[in-house]
Amino acid sequence: MTDTASKTPAANGQGQAMWGGRFSAKPAELMQAINVSIGFDKRLWAQDLAGSRAHARMLITQGVIASSDGEEILEGLAKIEDELATGTFPFRDEYEDIHMNIEARLRELIGPTAGRLHTARSRNDQVAVDFRLWVRDAADRSAAQLVELQKALLAQAETYADALMPGFTHLQPAQPVTFGHHLMAYVEMFGRDASRFRDARARMNECPLGAAALAGSPFPIDRHQTAATLGFDRPTANSLDSVSSRDFALEALSAASITATHLSRLAEEIVLWTTPMFGFIKLTDAFTTGSSIMPQKKNPDAAELIRAKVGRILGSLTTLTVVMKGLPLAYSKDMQEDKVPTFEAFDALELSLLAMAGMIADLTPNTEKMAAAAGAGFSTATDLADWLVRELNMPFRDAHHVTGSAVKAAETQGLDLSDLSLAQFQAIEPRITDGVYDVLTPAASAASRMSYGGTAPAQVRAQIARWKEALA
Q: 402, 388 in Cβ contact below 8 A?
A: yes
Closest by CA position to 78, among listed 99, 109, 101: 109
Please say which residue, 98 or 152, places its beta carbon nearer to ligand ARG: 98
Helices and strands, number each (H, E), in the chain: 19, 6
Nearer to ligand ARG, 10 or 153 (CB): 10
What one-character DSSP code corresponds to residue 330? S
Residue 251 within binding range of ligand ARG, rule CB under 6 A: no
| SS3 of the chain: helix, strand, coil, percent, to 5 | 70, 5, 25
Residues 28-47 that bind ligand ARG (CB under 6 A): 37, 41
**Should residue 267 be labelled a site residue for ligand ARG when binding is judged by CB under 6 A?**
no
CB-based contact 41:343 (threshold 8 Å): no
Whether residue 185 contacts residue 168, with contact meaning beta carbons closer than 8 Å, is answered with no
Per rule CB under 6 A, is residue 97 in the interface with ligand ARG? yes
The answer to whether residue 170 is catalytic is: yes
User: Are 103 and 117 contacting, i.e. CB atoms less than 8 angstroms apart?
Assistant: yes
- Provide the 8-state DSSP code for 299: B
Nearer to ligand ARG by Cβ, of 66 and 327: the residue is: 327
Quick check: 189 binds ligand ARG (CB under 6 A)? no
Least distance between ligand ARG and beta carbon 83 (Å): 20
Whole-number Å distance between alpha carbons of 49 and 113: 17
Q: Verify binding: residue 307, ligand ARG, rule CB under 6 A.
A: no
172: left (phi over 0), alpha (psi -120 to 50) or beta: beta
Inter-residue contact 340 to 252 (CB < 8 Å): no
Say how far apart CA 96 and CA 472 lie, in whole Å.
46
Residue 239 touching ligand ARG (CB under 6 A): no
The catalytically annotated residue of 68, 291, 405, 421 is 291
HSE (side-chain half, CA atoms, 13 Å) at 316: 27
Residues of this chain, 107-126, that bind ligand ARG according to CB under 6 A: 123-124
Which residue, 304 or 337, has its beta carbon nearer to ligand ARG?
337
Cβ atoms of residues 210 and 223 within 8 Å? yes
Which of 22/333 has CB closer to ligand ARG? Answer: 333
SS3 label, residue 229 = helix
Looking at 56, 102, 335, 417, which residue binds ligand ARG (CB under 6 A)? 335
Taking the least distance from each CB to ligand ARG, the nearer of 165 and 204 is: 204
Taking the C-alpha atoms of residue 176 and residue 455, their distance in angstroms, rounded to an integer, is 8
> Which residue among the candidates 6, 170, 292, 451 is catalytic per the annotation?
170
Interaction pattern, residues 52-91, with ligand ARG; x per rule: CB under 6 A: ----------------------------------------
Stretch that binds ligand ARG, among 307-315, 333-341, 359-367, 461-469 (CB under 6 A): 333-341
- Residue 242 makes contact with ligand ARG by CB under 6 A: no
Could you say which of 49, 127, 139, 348 contacts ligand ARG (CB under 6 A)? 127
| 245 belongs to the catalytic site | no
Which residues have a catalytic role annotated? 170, 291
Q: Which residues of the chain form contacts with ligand ARG (CB under 6 A)?
A: 37, 41, 97, 123-124, 127, 331, 333, 335-336
